[in-house]
Amino acid sequence: MTTPEKAKGSQWERDIVKYLQECGFTYAERRGLAGQQYDKGDITGLGPDIVIEAKNAKSIDLAKFLTEAELERDNARAKYGIACIKRRQKSTSQAYVVMSLKAFVELWKEREGLE
């Protein structure tokens, strides 16, 4: 039986995937078996080096969420781990996206062709 918290988390993952697909990330998808010992993140498909950890929590703990995203990045052998955190009473597009400054700089440099 699914708990209310699990159901809210699963819905949040579906909402993120739907939004990403609407934005052109056609391969975005929920990753199966999330929550296992070697969890590789909740959402994939933005590229081979990015995993997303989706969070729909009553209280926001940035340090905990980022630590989890980075652990799952390591498990997936990805370059970037991102926590996507639901904002109360806001649309999916207004979620918080959290990553380390180092990862942000690396991602931006890669995007700009500076590496």
Written as tens digits, the pLDDT of the chain (115 aa) is 678 888 898 999 999 999 999 999 999 999 876 556 678 889 999 888 999 999 999 999 999 999 999 999 999 999 999 999 999 999 999 999 999 999 999 988 988 888 6
- Eight-class DSSP state of 93: G
Give 12's DSSP letter: H
CATH code of the domain in which 68 resides: 3.40.1350
Written as one letter, the residue type at 79 is K
Say what the pLDDT of residue 21 is: 96
109 strand-pairing partners: none
Token output for 69: 């995203």
20 lies in which domain range?
A: 4-112
pLDDT the model gives residue 2: 78
Q: Identify the helix (H) or strand (E) that includes residue 1.
A: none
d(CA 11, CA 16): 9
20-25, long-range: CB within 8 Å, 24+ apart, which pairs?
A: 20/45, 20/46
pTM assigned to the model: 0.90
Q: What is the number of domains present in the chain?
A: 1
pLDDT score, position 40: 87
